[in-house]
Amino acid sequence: MRNVRCGLEARTKILLLLDDQYCSAGELAHKTGLSYNVVMYHLRLLDHGGIVGRKGGRKYVWLSTGVGQTRLT
């Protein structure tokens, strides 16, 4: 349970950026100050939950699906 707060903070940073624009994992890492591996870990968790999705070819662009906001309302 000790990593819950760090995970929440990381996912919040990622989701706030994805609400405004599409970003690659590298761009998210740069803009949030998190490592690329941490960003990918959280993107996979969010993707599994249907909260974010990806599109594109070799270089994926991540986007918010809006599902997370729908669940809150």
Helices (H), the chain: 4-20, 25-32, 36-48, 67-72
Which contacts (CB < 8 Å, 24+ apart) does range 19-28 have? Answer: 19/64, 22/55, 22/61, 22/62, 22/63, 23/61, 23/62, 24/59, 24/60, 24/61, 24/62, 25/60, 25/62, 28/62
Write down the pLDDT at residue 20: 86
Is 28 within 8 Å of 10 (Cβ atoms)? no
Higher-pLDDT residue of 73, 67: 67
pLDDT bin (cut points 50, 70, 90) of residue 2 is low
Write down the pLDDT at residue 10: 93
23: containing domain: 4-72
Write down the pLDDT at residue 6: 83
Domain count for the chain, please give it. 1
Write down the pLDDT at residue 48: 92
The pLDDT of 4-30, averaged and rounded, is 92
CATH number of 8's domain: 1.10.10.10
State the pTM of this model: 0.83
